[in-house]
Structure formats: C-alpha cells, structure tokens
Chains A and B, each alone.
Chain A
Amino acid sequence: GQNIDQPTEMTATEGAIVQINCTYQTSGFNGLFWYQQHAGEAPTFLSYNVLDGLEEKGRFSSFLSRSKGYSYLLLKELQMKDSASYLCAVRDSNAGNMLTFGGGTRLMVKP
C-alpha cells in the first residue's frame, strides 16, 4: 500500500514564501506530482518530479528526495489567488502507474 502525508492547513501572508511538505511510502515510485485545487474546482497540474532535486516553474518550485520519501512545494511571492488546496500525488509502477493522492494542504493567504 501507499501512505502520503501532508499538513492539513497552512496560513501565510501575501508576498511571503511558503513551503508545503509531503512524505510518502510506496513500493514502486514512478514520479511525484503537485496539483492545485481551488474550492469547487478540478485539480490542475503544477509540477512533476521523478529525479532528486529541485524543479522550478516561475513562482512555484518542487523538490524531491527519493531516499527520504520526501517532497516539498515552494510558493514564492504569494498572491491572494494562491489560496487553494495543494495536493501531493505519487505514481506507483507496481500499481498500474496510478496516482495516489494525499489529503491535500489547504493554504490560506492573508493580506
């Protein structure tokens, strides 16, 4: 089976930097995804890591350490519109390459 943990809620200030952590346990790791989901909307793809290290895309960066079963999503220069849930998902090659999602981290950005 798989186990994915991430904090339930976080609060940060507009303009600041926030790091959302995700730890996972899986038998056939084949990539980790971060999705953003605004309330009542579909998840949208943010980033993908399959090798160790940092992937940067504009204000968003994602880091992966496979040996530690750990990833984080870093959001810089926070904007009010970044208030959303952030979902960590792991793909498992031993499970048909399906995605298993964590419970999501609800981020609230305050002025």
Chain B
Amino acid sequence: DTGVSQDPRHKITKRGQNVTFRCDPISEHNRLYWYRQTLGQGPEFLTYFQNEAQLEKSRLLSDRFSAERPKGSFSTLEIQRTEQGDSAMYLCASSLPGSSYNEQFFGPGTRLTVL
C-alpha cells in the first residue's frame, strides 16, 4: 500500500496559464475526491468520482476547473486561465466504501501559487 500520491507537489504559474494536477489513489479504492485548502482553513470539497463517473461537483468548481478519471484509476484536475485566487493547496483523497469507517485517505497535496 503506497498511499495516495499527487504530482506535482508544488506548482508556480503565471496568471492566465493552464495547469494540470495528477492524483493516484490507493489501489482498489473506487472513490476519489478533490479538495481545495487555503491557509488556516479546512479542506473544501470540489468534486468526487466513483470509478470513472464524476458524481458530484461543488459550486466552487467554476467552468475553468475540470476533472477527469478516465479509467477509474488516476485522476487529473485542470485549471484553465488561472487566477491569483486559485492559489491554494489541492488535496486528493480516496476511499473504499464498505471498509470499516469508509474514511478518506489524503494525498500530500499540490501547492499552487499563481503569480
């Protein structure tokens, strides 16, 4: 069990550029979640997948944000035309329904800085 991994760990970009982040969940976990966390706040839900299906999207997820999980394994989160307000830590988590607590296991996050 290698845990949830995310790539890159840090990304610095200029306003207006597009960025893409990758998340590899724990194998066999069929649910995958994306959150955004700003300094001093708790994670805010963005979207989640069950297998390859995107089942829920937060109002926080503007049209500039898109997430995919094409084969039900890894997922990507793309932000188009980045804005300074997009600067945050982007966390990915995975879970396995039916496990003891169905708790979510978090990856180390991708810290995005938009200049």
Cβ B45 vs Cβ A99 within 8 A: yes
Write out, one digit per residue, whether chain B residues 84-101 have a CB within 8 A of any chain A CB (1) or not (0). 000000010000000001
* CB-defined contacts of A44 to chain B, threshold 8 Å: 106
**Measured between alpha carbons, how far is A4 from B41 in the docked complex, in Å?**
12
Q: Which chain B residue has the least Cβ–Cβ distance from A42? A: B106
The answer to whether A100 has its CB under 8 Å from any CB of chain B is: yes
Q: Which chain A residue has the least Cβ–Cβ distance from B101? A: A48
Cβ B40 vs Cβ A42 within 8 A: no
Cβ A96 vs Cβ B48 within 8 A: yes
**Measured between alpha carbons, how far is A99 from B35 in the docked complex, in Å?**
10
Secondary structure dominating the interface of A: strand
Q: Which chain A residue has the least Cβ–Cβ distance from B89? A: A40
The answer to whether A103 has its CB under 8 Å from any CB of chain B is: yes
Write out, one digit per residue, whether chain B residues 14-53 have a CB within 8 A of any chain A CB (1) or not (0). 0000000000000000000101000011111100100000
**Measured between alpha carbons, how far is A31 from B44 in the docked complex, in Å?**
18
Cβ B41 vs Cβ A104 within 8 A: yes
Write out, one digit per residue, whether chain B residues 49-93 have a CB within 8 A of any chain A CB (1) or not (0). 000000110000000000000000000000000000000000100
* CB-defined contacts of B106 to chain A, threshold 8 Å: 35, 42-44
Cβ B48 vs Cβ A98 within 8 A: yes
**Measured between alpha carbons, how far is A101 from B35 in the docked complex, in Å?**
10
Name A45-78 residues within 8 Å CB distance of B: 45, 48
Given A42-B4, A104-B42, 7 other A-B residues pairs in contact with their CB atoms under 8 A = A4-B42, A31-B102, A35-B106, A48-B101, A98-B45, A99-B45, A103-B40
